[in-house]
Structure 1
C-alpha cells in the first residue's frame, strides 16, 4: 500500500485568502510554508488511486502528483474515486472539479451521503455532467476497489455536522464535549490495511473525541495521520477569530491537558499531524513547538511525502 500526502492544511489553507495572521503572512513571504487543504491519495492497485477527501485544491494536488496524471490515452485517469471522512465543505467542494469524468465513485457514510445529496443537492448538480456511484463506508472492512488488497473501514469519531446540515434531532452533538455523544457517524477516521503486507494506516483529519474504537485502531497501526488543527485549546480565542475553544470547534488540541500528543507518544506507530490551521505555530518550520513534538517522537506531515506500508 502506498499513500501520498496531497495537503496538510485546515480550512482555508495556508495562507488563507482573507487573513494576515502571522502564519498567513509568513507563508506569503516564504512560499515553502504554503499548505494545501488536507488530503491523501491511496493506491488501490498499480493503475488506480483514491483521493481521501475532495478539497478546493484538488486540481492543483493532482497536477503536483505525477502518479495521478492522465495517460497514455486522453481522458484515461488513474483517479478511480474519492473517500470522504465527513461532509464539510473543505473536504467536498473538490467533487465539482471532477465533473469532467464519465463516472465518479464516492465512498461515504450514510449521514455524509444524505447531507451532500439532500442538503447540498450534489446529485442534482453533478449528474448532468457525470454518473455518481455511491458506496457505503462503515465499520466493516471492504476492498478499496474490487480485487484490491487494500481494505478500508470507518471509525466514527464525532457527530459534528457541517453548518449547512446543522438542523436535525442529533444536532446537539455537533461540537465540543457534546460530540462524544454523537448518534450518527458524521465524522470518521479511516483505517487502511494491506492484506498482503499487513501494513495499516489510520487517517483522522478531524478529531473531536477519542472513542475506544479509535484507540484500538491506532494501537495496531503502523502509521497514524491525525488532526493537528490547533496547538492548544485556547488558540482560536487567543488568535481572535473565534469565541470558542479548539474542542468547542470540534478539534482536540495537540498540547495541554487531554491533548493528543500525550496520547500518541506511547504508540509504536509513526505519528504525524495534518490539517494544520493557519493560526497554529507549527506552520512556521522554525517554531519551537516542532522540537517539543520531536522529543515525543511526533512530527508534522510534509506535503508530497510518501508512506509505503
Structure 2
C-alpha cells in the first residue's frame, strides 16, 4: 500500500488569506512553511488512486503529485474516487473542482452523504457536469476498488455536524462560527457518525494506516484500532487547549471547537507515545506553533517518538 501526504493544514491553510498571525506571516516570508489543506492519497492498484478528503487545494495537490497526473491518453486520470472523513467544507469543496471528470466515486457515511446531497445539493449542482457515484462507508472493511488488496473502513469518532447542517441560534464556535440547534438531515439521528477515522488495510502486506484529521473524542473503538495500526496520521489542529482563545480568534477552547489538543495531561501526545505505530500529526491550524519548523515544540514531540507529517511525504506499507 502506497500513500502520499497531499496536505497537512487545518481550515484556511497556512498562510490563511485573511490572517497575519505569526504562523501565516512566517509562511509568507518563508514559502517552504506553506501548508495545503489536510488530505491523503492512497494507491488502490496500479491504475487507481483514491483521495482521502477533497480539499479546496485539490487541483494543486494533484499537480504536485506526479503519480496522480493524467495519461497517456487525454483525460485518463488515475484519480478514481474520494473517501470522506466528514462533511466539513474544508474536506468536500474539492469535489466540485473535479467536475471535468466523467464520473467521481465518493465513499462516505450515511449522514455525510445526506448532508452533501440534501443540504448542500451537490448532486443537483454537479449533475450537468459529472456523474457522482456514492458508496456507503461504514465499519465493515471493503475493497477500495474492485479487486484491490487495499480495504477501507470507518471508525465513528463524533457527532459533530458542519455549520450548514445546523440551525444557528447564537454563541461563538471560533472563527465566526456559532453553536446551533441540530436540524434534521434526511432521517439521520443526532448520534449517527458524522466524523470518522478512516482505516486502510493492505491484505497482501498486512500494513494498516489510520487517518483521523478531526478528533473531538477518543472512543474505545478508536483506541482498539490504534493498537493494530502501523502508521497513524492524527488531528494536530491545536497545540494546547487554550490556543484558540490565546490567539484571539475564538472565545472557545480546542475542546470546545471539536479538537483534542496535542499537549497537556489529557492531550493526544501522551496517548500516542506508548503506541508501537509511527504517529504523525496533520491538520495543523495556522496558530499552532508547530507550523514553524524551528519551534521548540518539535523537540518535545521527538522526545515522545512523535512528529509532524511533511507535505508530499510518501508512506509505503
Q: Normalization by structure 2: what TM-score?
A: 0.93
Give the match for residue 253 of structure 1.
Answer: 261
Distance in 2 (CA, whole Å) between partners of 1:14 and 1:192 is: 27
Written as runs of structure 1 = structure 2, the 5 A alignment for 1:164-203 is 164-167=164-167, 183-203=191-211
Corresponding residue pairs, total:
301
Give the match for residue 77 of structure 1.
Answer: 77
Give the match for residue 103 of structure 2.
Answer: 103
Summarize deviations over 1:53-80 as a string: whole Å, max 9, x none: 0000000000000000000000000000
Is 1:225 paired with 2:233? yes
Distance in 1 (CA, whole Å) between partners of 2:231 and 2:196 is: 17
5+ unaligned residues in a row in structure 2: which ranges?
169-179, 184-188
Is 1:273 paired with 2:281? yes
- Contact between 1:228 and 1:275, CA under 8 Å: does it hold in 2? yes
Distance in 1 (CA, whole Å) between partners of 2:65 and 2:4 is: 8
Distance in 1 (CA, whole Å) between partners of 2:16 and 2:190 is: 30
- Contact between 1:81 and 1:105, CA under 8 Å: does it hold in 2? yes
Summarize deviations over 1:153-208 as a string: whole Å, max 9, x none: 0001111000000149xx7689xxxxxx9611100000000000110000000000
Summarize deviations over 1:200-243 as a string: whole Å, max 9, x none: 00000000000000000011100000000000000000000001
Alpha-carbon RMSD: 1.4
Q: Secondary structure of the equivalent of 1:114?
A: helix
Distance in 1 (CA, whole Å) between partners of 2:271 and 2:190 is: 22
Q: Secondary structure of the equivalent of 1:184?
A: coil
Give the match for residue 38 of structure 2.
Answer: 38
Give the match for residue 178 of structure 1.
Answer: none
Written as runs of structure 1 = structure 2, the 5 A alignment for 1:229-308 is 229-308=237-316
Distance in 1 (CA, whole Å) between partners of 2:217 and 2:122 is: 28
Is 1:65 paired with 2:65? yes
Is 1:124 paired with 2:124? yes
Is 1:86 paired with 2:94? no
5+ unaligned residues in a row in structure 1: which ranges?
175-180
Distance in 2 (CA, whole Å) between partners of 1:251 and 1:92 is: 19
Distance in 1 (CA, whole Å) between partners of 2:231 and 2:11 is: 23
1:257: how far off? 2.3
Runs of 4+ in 1 over 2 A off after TM superposition: 171-174
| Larger fraction in helix | 1
Distance in 2 (CA, whole Å) between partners of 1:56 and 1:190 is: 20
- Contact between 2:39 and 2:53, CA under 8 Å: does it hold in 1? yes
Distance in 1 (CA, whole Å) between partners of 2:261 and 2:157 is: 15
Summarize deviations over 1:26-50 as a string: whole Å, max 9, x none: 0000000000000000000011000
1:120/1:173 CA distance change after superposition, 3 Å: closer
Distance in 1 (CA, whole Å) between partners of 2:107 and 2:226 is: 21
1:295/1:277 CA distance change after superposition, 3 Å: same
Give the match for residue 153 of structure 1.
Answer: 153
